[in-house]
Amino acid sequence: MAAFMLARLDWKAALRIVLVVALANGGGNLLGSLIPNASPATGGMWASISGIVVLQATHGEAGSAAFKRVLGTLIGAVLSWLYLDFFPVAWPGVLVCLFLTVLVCQGLRVPDNGRLGCITVLVVLVVAELHPSLPPLANAGLRFTESTLGSLVALLVAWLWPYPAGR
């Protein structure tokens, strides 16, 4: 029974994710280490998450996911940066920022990007609370750059190592 179960496991799918995470994490860590008061571990984690979200079976599907990820992250990063320029991190303000992120995405006719934008808002605001000496623009800029990096890594892996159709 165990041999049968092992034969059905798709180690190639797992290896693709491991490859994306290893590359994205390394790049995100490097980015974070270049900015004073930034957290390299946060950068690696955020780039890795973006890579996992974007990695799809084919380059075309990954391209669509990457576009949504990067645009949603841009909207969330800009709104959270603007919020932090005027207000300290407080949950009522965070909720307003999330609400505005969804409305902006709807207004730009990219409503699916609202969820990804909201995730970015939460990450930027939590990082602001954990690392108050990190300037808001640097925080939001890093999150956008790390998300873009993770998305590009996933696109590259999907292009170089497409996943068989139907899986």
**pLDDT tens for each residue of the chain, 167 residues long:** 555 555 567 888 899 999 999 999 999 999 999 999 999 999 999 999 999 999 987 788 889 889 999 999 999 999 999 999 999 999 999 999 999 999 999 999 988 889 999 999 999 999 999 999 999 999 999 999 999 999 999 999 999 988 765 45
The Cα 143–Cα 75 span in angstroms is 11
Number of structural domains the chain divides into: 1
pTM, full prediction: 0.88
In the three-class reduction of DSSP (H, G, I as helix; E, B as strand; rest coil), residue 16 is classed as helix
Residue 4 within a domain: no
Q: Which residues of 45-64 are buried (b: 16+ CB within 10 A; e: fewer)?
A: bbbbbbbebbbbbebeebbe
Residue 110 within a domain: yes
- Alpha-carbon dihedral of residues 96, 100, 102, 106, nearest 10 degrees? 160
Residue 134 within a domain: yes
Residue 3 within a domain: no
The boundaries of the domain holding residue 139 are 12-160
Residue 1 within a domain: no
Residue 165 within a domain: no
